[in-house]
Chains A and B, each alone.
Chain A
């Protein structure tokens, strides 16, 4: 398993907001250790027994260090919130927020890079190591309906498809080591390739399944990693959004990063993935069947 386990300590920024309140309960139910919360101006309050502070700095001084900061604030406040967590050198900053302006994201990722802080997201649903722990809103109130413990790594830009893919695997009797929604934005802190490197090192993970899509370079970076021999386990990928190839260049779809004609075409992706040794699956529902053959 990667990124999150039973011991992971969490701080939530924007804990008193609509989605913040929702996620606190879900994490508690999954047995996660939410140490503190932050909402400027609401220091001194409590949410489900968790103390709220005015700043990340104070929260850490009062309640101790955490492994993950989860950013659940409105889009135009997300940059400042994330920078606060990065300044405090919290090792992993998970940004759930969608629709953060690209310039803000670029600033956040640049600072994170300097401080050696890892960012998951923006627009990431989170990560779950089934039966062990989770961060973010992945699996919602009832993760066990979809996720099960096992040995397959799951990655997708899309939160919904991370779940859908994991459910497909669970129903076929294949559990997941860790499932991660990396987020659909144009610029992302954690991409397919950095997770593949983690999965390569993770002994529990036998194979990785990914849901790729039109636009961007995430799939190409993964292909390069495979070609360079830096990821050696079976890698199965499904690509969605072929219909969009008939739309004018620069059209952007549901995900901010799904931009037609950006970086690589669907055919480029398929070609590079195939020649790298990845298994490109045409039918989504065939994934378990294909995987079973590979890891037998």
Chain B
């Protein structure tokens, strides 16, 4: 989970890292209030999850009330890098003597955390790596004992070593996957101040930070849709198997991926779900969402996810697809699907393509066939002998036919 800058500063503050004084505003009244507690010049920063805020004009130093209000009015509620600006932080401007870069994250090759520091800050680390890789100092961190004192000495001075240690404390205490302070400023008094804070939390670590005060986020964007929030709750309330922890709703602008899709996807498995989406798109289909359930979740979890996924307007097909399961009980999970399906309002009349294999798949299909006959659902059931790509193609064809029929009548 990627955090807003202001949420990141709060996590740093708990480890004793100083940030410039700031106030977060949601509307112009709050801007008005906040202004009285700050003196000009003020740094106004839009709070969005995408990087490049500076380059995109989302950060502005303002020296008058008018400039401040103009900036905030032009930004609040507007689209910035495909994201609605809900917050602007008004920050005290500090006197910066020099800017540097510092971060901690995991190396997927060594499987351990490491710290990166560069005396040249302010620009992207990718740029820095390209332009001046020698300027980057790398410190390996033992995940059990933290950074070694002798390694931190390489940073050159005690204040910086102390800052690095606090950054590590914040990293551990919040179960972060990445903490990056860029720029890390040295002010006129020689103090180190975190002018920016980029924090990505480890989603698997959230289970032990129930008290964390951060706003809910979407899987792909800052502001989750109602469905994304509902889907996320399913796993938070029950750790058995997974269902819906990753739910991305594709929904016109300013959300990602352009136009809204019309094929609801209930995929199974982290790997197969990728194949399912690729196959659907390759065949000209437009997914309404990405989600997956896996790891043998109980029927109730699939039931909830089904209801959330299908109760959306404008759906013209539903693809339930996954690989041949190893240990996921297909009967139980599809029973959950059936229960969820029955609750969807208005009643589902679009085609439903199911492609599954694995434990108790036969019983599951018998159950669905019976249900289809009784309730009149338009099921198209495919076993493991049918490739996922073929089922995806079938789904696209059926949904086109459904739309043609619906719009011609």
A selection of 11 A-B contacts at a CB cut-off of 8 Å is: A26-B327, A101-B208, A102-B204, A103-B205, A105-B111, A106-B113, A107-B144, A243-B290, A253-B273, A284-B275, A285-B387
Query: Which residues of chain B come closer than 8 Å to A234, judged between CB atoms?
Result: none
User: Which B12-63 residues have a C-beta within 8 angstroms of A?
Assistant: 49-51
Bound together, the chains give a CA A260 to CA B69 distance in angstroms of 36
Q: Find out whether the CB atom of A142 lies under 8 angstroms from the CB atom of B239.
A: no
How many chain-B residues does the 8 Å CB contact rule pick out? 67
Q: Find out whether the CB atom of B111 lies under 8 angstroms from the CB atom of A254.
A: no
Known: A18-B240, A242-B278. A163 touches B326 (CB 8 A): yes
Bound together, the chains give a CA A106 to CA B113 distance in angstroms of 8
Q: Find out whether the CB atom of A216 lies under 8 angstroms from the CB atom of B108.
A: yes
Known: A98-B295, A243-B277, A244-B274. A163 touches B323 (CB 8 A): yes
Interface residues on A, range: 35 or more
Bound together, the chains give a CA A222 to CA B237 distance in angstroms of 38
Which residues in A have some Cβ–Cβ distance to B below 8 Å?
18-19, 22-23, 26, 74-76, 98-103, 105-107, 109-111, 125-126, 137-142, 145-146, 156-164, 167, 171, 181, 184, 186-189, 211, 213-214, 216-217, 221, 240-244, 246-258, 262-263, 283-285
Bound together, the chains give a CA A222 to CA B202 distance in angstroms of 26
User: Which B345-397 residues have a C-beta within 8 angstroms of A?
Assistant: 357-359, 384-385, 387-389
Contact digits for B159-178, partner A, Cβ 8 Å, 1 yes 0 no: 00000000000001001010
Known: A254-B294, A255-B270, A258-B270. A102 touches B50 (CB 8 A): no
Is B207 in the interface zone, CB < 8 Å from A?
yes
Query: Which residues of chain B come closer than 8 Å to A246, judged between CB atoms?
Result: 256-257
Q: Find out whether the CB atom of B327 lies under 8 angstroms from the CB atom of A253.
A: no
Q: Find out whether the CB atom of B175 lies under 8 angstroms from the CB atom of A247.
A: no
Q: Find out whether the CB atom of A102 lies under 8 angstroms from the CB atom of B326.
A: no
Q: B112, B277, B359: which contacts A140 (Cβ < 8 A)?
A: B359
Query: Which residues of chain A come closer than 8 Å to B275, judged between CB atoms?
Result: 161, 240, 284
Count A/B pairs, Cβ under 8 Å. Answer: 200
Q: Find out whether the CB atom of B278 lies under 8 angstroms from the CB atom of A102.
A: no
Known: A106-B112, A160-B294, A251-B219. A76 touches B207 (CB 8 A): yes
Query: Which residues of chain B come closer than 8 Å to A252, judged between CB atoms?
Result: 203, 219, 246
Q: Find out whether the CB atom of A285 lies under 8 angstroms from the CB atom of B389.
A: yes
Query: Which residues of chain B come closer than 8 Å to A251, judged between CB atoms?
Result: 219-220, 248
CB closest chain-B residue, reference A159: B326
Query: Which residues of chain B come closer than 8 Å to A103, judged between CB atoms?
Result: 143, 172, 175, 202, 205
Query: Which residues of chain A come closer than 8 Å to B231, judged between CB atoms?
Result: none
Q: Find out whether the CB atom of B324 lies under 8 angstroms from the CB atom of A137.
A: no
Query: Which residues of chain A come closer than 8 Å to B187, judged between CB atoms?
Result: none
Known: A99-B204, A167-B324, A284-B387. A253 touches B242 (CB 8 A): no
